[in-house]
């Protein structure tokens, strides 16, 4: 027998393997086992076949994930990547409730949107950390939720001339509307303008 001769095909063994995996997309081509779903030739051992049939590629090819589920998984991934940005899933789309706008699911587009002036301009956004679990399950009216948050901010920043005007937080010293986020208020009260007005008020 020459060195280049190949091992004879054991069709009985191949038959037994086909019978061992009756529900799989196996066929014999040119004396080899082939997974027709993945268009891949496989080894002729039970271990190799088991390993292949357990792969993610094979299972998603044989049992493709519905498009709705893929979209849902991707939206949930984006929500984990960009928390506290008023993003949510709405009608199988990633949606910014702050800007009332649907956003493409690509990370680049999401980053561009949350960095946009429109997204950053809304001063009446209630931070997500303020929403308690029972308020999510049994949502309270927006006006009441906003009022509660105003009162909390007034307690957090006493003696800073902050007040509630309409449905907005207002600094009566500087005559400006403020965001309800703690970081924005702290940034404002630390400004030179605000501190200058505070110094003048304390002099009288």
For the chain, domain boundaries: 11-62, 67-121, 128-203
Entry pTM: 0.36
* Residues 124 and 168: beta-carbon distance below 8 Å: yes
* Ramachandran bin of 31, using left for φ above 0, alpha for ψ from -120 to 50, beta for the remaining angles: left
- pLDDT recorded at residue 156: 87
Beta strands in the chain (DSSP E): 26-29, 32-35, 40-42, 87-90, 93-96, 101-103, 162-165, 168-171, 176-178
The rounded distance, in Å, linking the Cα atoms of 195 and 181 is 19
**Helices and strands in the chain: count of H runs, count of E runs:** 10, 9
What average pLDDT values come out for the chain (204 residues) when binned by 10 residues?
60 86 83 86 90 85 75 84 83 82 82 79 51 53 75 86 82 84 85 80 56
Listing DSSP states for 6-47 in one string gives PPPP-HHHHHHHHHHSTTS-EEEETTEEEETTTTEEE-SSHH
Listed in order, strand segments (DSSP E) in 86-150 are: 87-90, 93-96, 101-103
Q: Is 178 exposed, middle or buried (0-12, 13-18, 19+ CB in 10 A)?
A: buried
Under 8 Å between Cβ of 34 and 41: yes
Question: Would you tell me the crossing angle of helices 182-189 and 192-203 to the nearest 10 degrees?
Answer: 60
């Amino acid at each position: 027998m020459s060195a280049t001769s190949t091992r004879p095909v054991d069709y009985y063994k191949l038959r037994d393997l086909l019978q061992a995996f009756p529900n799989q997309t196996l066929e014999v081509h040119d004396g080899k086992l082939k997974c027709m779903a993945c268009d891949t030739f496989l080894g002729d051992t039970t271990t190799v076949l088991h390993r292949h049939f357990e792969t993610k590629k094979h299972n998603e090819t044989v049992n493709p994930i519905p498009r709705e589920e893929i979209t849902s998984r991707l939206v949930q991934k984006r929500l984990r990547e960009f928390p506290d940005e008023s993003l949510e899933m709405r009608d199988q789309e990633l949606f910014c409730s702050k800007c009332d706008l649907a956003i493409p699911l690509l990370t680049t587009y999401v980053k561009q949107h949350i960095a946009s002036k429109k997204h950053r301009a809304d001063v009446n956004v209630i931070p997500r950390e303020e929403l308690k679990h029972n308020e999510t399950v049994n949502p309270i009216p927006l006006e009441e939720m906003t009022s509660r948050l105003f009162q909390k901010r007034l307690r957090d920043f006493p003696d800073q001339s902050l007040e509630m005007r309409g449905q907005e937080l207002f600094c009566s010293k500087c005559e400006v509307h403020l965001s309800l986020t703690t970081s924005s208020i702290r940034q404002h009260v630390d400004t030179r303008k605000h501190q200058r007005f505070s110094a003048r008020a304390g002099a009288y």
